[in-house]
Structure 1
Amino acid sequence: MLDAIIVGAGQAGLTMGYYLKQEGYNFLLLEAGNRIGDSWRNRYDSLQLFTPREYSSLPGMIVKGEGKGFPCKDEMATYLEEYARYFTLPIQLQTEVLKIKKEKEIFELHTPTEILQAKKVVIATGGFQQPYIPSFSQHLSSHIFQIHSSQYKSPSKIPKGKVLVVGGGNSGMQIAVELAKTHEVTISIGHPLTFLPLHLFRKSIFNWLEKLGLLYAEVNTKRGKWFQKRKDPIFGFEGKELIRNGVIKLEKKVVSASENNIMFQNGGTYSAESIIWSTGFIQNYKWIEIEKAVNENGFPNHVRGISPVKGLYYIGLPWQSQRGSALICGVGKDAAYLLSEIKKIDQ
């Protein structure tokens, strides 16, 4: 019988493991992937974080390299792997949790090969689980190359011709900027864009966000509520300049599709050889078969990561308790808080 099982060994799960290890808990991390860090390692080739290294570390171990520089995706993957090794965190790889049940006071976690039991469970699968592509994409011709942004690797893997990037988050914009060097690119965005510089007066924008109380703004404060109503900004001005100069064409939100054409919200149409859907992810918690664990919308039922189900916790969710909850720089705050609550129950 384990004291705790953490489902997911990404940045959130590893951080929770770090804190449990410090307190001597008997626990296990379950990770569906083949290697620690694969969630970063498998992203597109040129991916670079927009958070500098000084804001890209987990508790107890600093990311190597110049603090004001920006780590690449392979650097982050290696860092997470080294983090797990350095703190000798108990991890079982290639282990998918198919369902979780609770019998009396014991949690049962069903995997393809065994049933594990624990007194507590921390769900650390995060907010980026299943790629979402609108169902109307199926109406497009099979001749049009379509992938989700999570499948994108490099411009050389995209067929020649016009490319439509659907979605204007940081990933969508970074992909559009890279493709603009080799392809004719249009980006479709359903909301006004806000761009922030990576640096301001020789300091990282994250230094300023922290000083202004925005980086870690708590969910129920006036500042936090204001921030939640706004779309995430695009970090860096490269995309802004390419749009301004007409190198990247800007279109309204995509609302439907038919054979060879995409239809926009303003009634316009567009035909492209390739479409990259940077349309986010769907959270799936149907495998948690415990009453009150998720709400009627299928999202985790929690307050600051604490479930109404005794012994069940969540970590790594967007706005779990504050703006940085889903960021590598902020997940430690939530893990420390959850540990304090776990210790209260055990006293």
Structure 2
Amino acid sequence: MIDCPESTTVQTIVIGGGQAGLSVGFHLAKLGLPFQILDANERVGDAWRKRWDSLRVFHPARYVGLPGMRFPGRGDAFPTKDQMADYLVEYARRFRLPVRNGIKVNRLWKEADQFVIAAGDQVIRSENVVVAMANYQQPRVPAFAAELDPAIVQLHSHEYRNLSQLREGGVLVVGAGNSGAEIAIEAARSHPTWISGQESGHIPWQNDGFIGRFFLVRLLRFFYHHILTVKTPLGRKLRPKLIAATAPLIRVKPEGLTGCGVTRVPRMAGVRTGLPLLADGSTLDVKNVIWCTGYHRGFGWIELPIFQENGEPEHEEGTVRSVPGMYFVGLHFLYSMTSASLVGVGRDAERVAKAIASRARILKPGLTQR
């Protein structure tokens, strides 16, 4: 046990103050439950604010509002990352959600019936903990990245903001998912650009086109939100593959990459004489490498026996049965294919908040769970 003068007790601690944590907070407040939201960022919305400058949300604004507050502006527009960040700030303000920013949780464990959360020199105890964040927390790059020539600029997509960070000369984007494709197209405006990695498939229509944004996006949303769930035979069958797979390209099409001057090359397999070595044995003489190679889960601070062999938390629709009072919101395919997105996080947050209320035996009269 840590002896800390700042030790406090709160009924429910929500770890993570992005869209998942704020959605949980909304529903806990609606149920009259005491809670605090802890977030490592200095400001609400920073997780969006710190992405690359040209990033836009993949869904039209009409689908990205959180529970209780629609996204402002035109419903068919695709919000920018800064508009998304500002929306989250206003959301937290409007519902007076108790977000404590600049609080990075270092450890989480349990003593008797209480959870213990260590954050720097602070210790907080609680009856319930909601880990409200996605599976993608720590940028992942291959070990051989350290062998590249020190003169080559290396950035993970998590660090990339705009073209001003790059040296004059060629750019290799490693990873052909959505982030890699969009960053490669941006880089090709002013640099010779190559992209390596296996294509993950693509949505066979223009997401930004009239038919796409007004009709087909609704069809896709319905399929991802209501069909691909843990409640349907199809969802249960496909879930393991979808969790492990890279998402298909949404806004960019393969022909769009080549049309913008991006050259497709085999995957990067290593380093030779300080240069990127491709799977076909050739090397690329580039001055910049942008790693769009995904993230580690980053849950090493959770000191509880809740993880499967593959590193994923063991849960049922966000509730960890083996550790009462432990919950997750925001994980990829927690309940449905939309669970980690703005489209689906609110539904999962409501379910978890009601589970907490039921556990505490203080569910408000007249409020029933679905």
Normalized against structure 2, the TM-score is what? 0.88
Matched, 1:78 2:86: yes
Within 5 Å, give how 1:116-155 maps onto structure 2.
116-155=124-163
Question: In the aligned structure 2, how far is the partner of 1:179 from the partner of 1:246?
Answer: 10
> Which string of whole-angstrom CA distances, capped at 9 and with x for unpartnered residues, describes residues 236-269 of structure 1?
24663231x4711001221111233222223333
Matched, 1:294 2:307: yes
Correspondence for 1:207 among 212, 215, 218: 218
Q: Partner residue of 1:175?
A: 183
Residue identity matched to 1:214: Y
CA RMSD after TM alignment: 1.8
Correspondence for 2:230 among 199, 202, 219: 219
Q: 1:154 to 1:195 in 2, by over 3 A?
A: same
Q: Partner residue of 2:249?
A: 234
Moved more, 217-226 or 100-109: 217-226
- Partner SS, residue 344 of structure 1: helix
Within 5 Å, give how 1:27-46 maps onto structure 2.
27-46=35-54
Identical columns (%): 34
Q: 1:73 to 1:204 in 2, by over 3 A?
A: farther
Within 5 Å, give how 1:31-70 maps onto structure 2.
31-70=39-78
Residue identity matched to 1:201: I
Q: 1:168 to 1:325 in 2, by over 3 A?
A: same
Conserved in 2, the CA contact under 8 Å of 1:37 and 1:80?
yes
- Partner SS, residue 29 of structure 1: strand
Q: Partner residue of 1:334?
A: 348
Q: Partner residue of 2:5?
A: none
Q: Partner residue of 2:297?
A: 283
Q: Note the C-alpha offset of 1:309.
A: 0.5
Correspondence for 1:321 among 335, 342, 346: 335
Q: Note the C-alpha offset of 1:297.
A: 3.6
Q: Note the C-alpha offset of 1:298.
A: 3.2
Q: Note the C-alpha offset of 1:343.
A: 2.6
Residue identity matched to 1:255: A
Q: 1:58 to 1:87 in 2, by over 3 A?
A: same
Residue identity matched to 1:207: R
Q: 1:238 to 1:191 in 2, by over 3 A?
A: closer
Moved more, 216-225 or 149-158: 216-225
Question: In the aligned structure 2, how far is the partner of 1:135 from the partner of 1:220?
Answer: 39
Conserved in 2, the CA contact under 8 Å of 1:285 and 1:300?
no
Q: Partner residue of 1:305?
A: 318
Q: Note the C-alpha offset of 1:106.
A: 0.8
Residue identity matched to 2:217: F
Q: Note the C-alpha offset of 1:346.
A: 2.4
Moved more, 312-321 or 295-304: 295-304
Matched, 1:190 2:198: yes
Q: What count of residue pairs does the alignment treat as equivalent? A: 344
Question: In the aligned structure 2, how far is the partner of 1:331 from the partner of 1:108?
Answer: 26
Question: In the aligned structure 1, how far is the partner of 2:133 from the partner of 2:211?
Answer: 37
Question: In the aligned structure 2, how far is the partner of 1:204 from the partner of 1:40?
Answer: 27
Conserved in 2, the CA contact under 8 Å of 1:177 and 1:239?
no
Q: Note the C-alpha offset of 1:328.
A: 0.6
Normalized against structure 1, the TM-score is what? 0.94
Unaligned stretches of 5+ in structure 2?
Answer: 1-8, 362-370
Residue identity matched to 1:15: S
Q: Partner residue of 1:165?
A: 173
Q: 1:204 to 1:45 in 2, by over 3 A?
A: farther
Residue identity matched to 2:34: N
Q: Note the C-alpha offset of 1:293.
A: 2.3
Residue identity matched to 1:117: R
Matched, 1:263 2:255: no
Conserved in 1, the CA contact under 8 Å of 2:108 and 2:117?
yes
Question: In the aligned structure 1, how far is the partner of 2:312 from the partner of 2:200?
Answer: 27
Question: In the aligned structure 2, how far is the partner of 1:101 from the partner of 1:127?
Answer: 19
Conserved in 2, the CA contact under 8 Å of 1:206 and 1:215?
no
Matched, 1:273 2:283: no
Question: In the aligned structure 2, how far is the partner of 1:55 from the partner of 1:123?
Answer: 24
> Which string of whole-angstrom CA distances, capped at 9 and with x for unpartnered residues, describes residues 80-125 of structure 1?
0110110000111111111112111111111112211111000113
Q: Partner residue of 2:19?
A: 11
Q: Partner residue of 2:29?
A: 21
Moved more, 253-262 or 161-170: 253-262
Question: In the aligned structure 1, how far is the partner of 2:210 from the partner of 2:135?
Answer: 30
Q: 1:71 to 1:28 in 2, by over 3 A?
A: same
- Partner SS, residue 276 of structure 2: strand
Question: In the aligned structure 1, how far is the partner of 2:301 from the partner of 2:111?
Answer: 15
Question: In the aligned structure 1, how far is the partner of 2:132 from the partner of 2:120?
Answer: 19
> Which string of whole-angstrom CA distances, capped at 9 and with x for unpartnered residues, describes residues 115-146 of structure 1?
11111000113222110011111111101111
Q: Note the C-alpha offset of 1:204.
A: 4.9
